[in-house]
Amino acid sequence: MRPRDPDHWLYRHTPAEWVRASLAELAQAKAAYARRNGRAGLAGCRRAAGVALNGLLALGPSPDERYGRSYMDHLQGLTRDSDAPTVVREAAAHLLQTPLPGGEIVALRTATSDARALDAAETVMAHCYARVVSAGADEAPGEGGDT
């Protein structure tokens, strides 16, 4: 794991900080769905998973080019990563394949479809969290800006 670098897009936060930030993104997604804003809810789920993937990517000495830089690139990279569990790759694929409401295609939304997007984001996030913890990259309280 590289040390924190405030000028680098990936290493400006520690892996654990990225995972914590993903929890805030997930909370925003849940709030958007509660307001019946499916577009913001799905975008938030994608962001939450992508931010958690930043934590996973920050474990390496350099960014994994297969995962790109954007959270959508991260999700696409995860779908192709044969080292990731199938359920995690499928969750990433679900987030990518679910159309954003409000486009030219009318997507029928239900509480179940919203829950599936949240579940998919949580699956990716749990995978990232487990990898960060197993790598020993989770900070003890007070060491990395426990907020």
pLDDT digits (tens, 9 = 90+) for 97-129: 998 876 555 555 566 889 999 999 999 999 999
- Residue 6 domain-assigned? no
pTM recorded for the entire structure: 0.87
∠ CA 128-2-143, rounded to 5°? 75
From CA 139, how far away is CA 24, in angstroms rounded? 18
Give the type of residue at 108: L
35 domain residue, yes or no: yes
CATH number of residue 30's parent domain: 1.20.120.330
**Residue 139 belongs to some domain of the structure:** no
- Count of domains observed in the chain: 1
1 inside domain: no
Is 144 among the domain residues? no
User: In this predicted structure, what is the pLDDT of residue 141?
Assistant: 37
Residue 102 domain-assigned? Answer: yes
- Confidence at residue 3, expressed as pLDDT on a 0 to 100 scale: 86
Provide the H-helix boundaries in the chain.
15-34, 38-57, 71-79, 86-97, 111-134
- Please indicate, yes or no, if residue 105 is contained in any of the structural domains: yes
Tens-binned pLDDT, residue by residue, of the chain (147 aa): 788 899 999 999 999 999 999 999 999 999 999 999 999 999 999 999 999 999 999 999 999 999 999 999 999 999 999 999 999 999 999 999 998 876 555 555 566 889 999 999 999 999 999 999 999 877 643 344 443
For residue 109, the enclosing domain spans 15-134
Residue 96 resides in a domain: yes
Instruction: Give the pLDDT score at 113.
Output: 86
Residue 110 token pair: 């239900």
pLDDT the model gives residue 94: 97
Query: What is the C-alpha separation between 134 and 35, in angstroms, rounded?
Result: 36
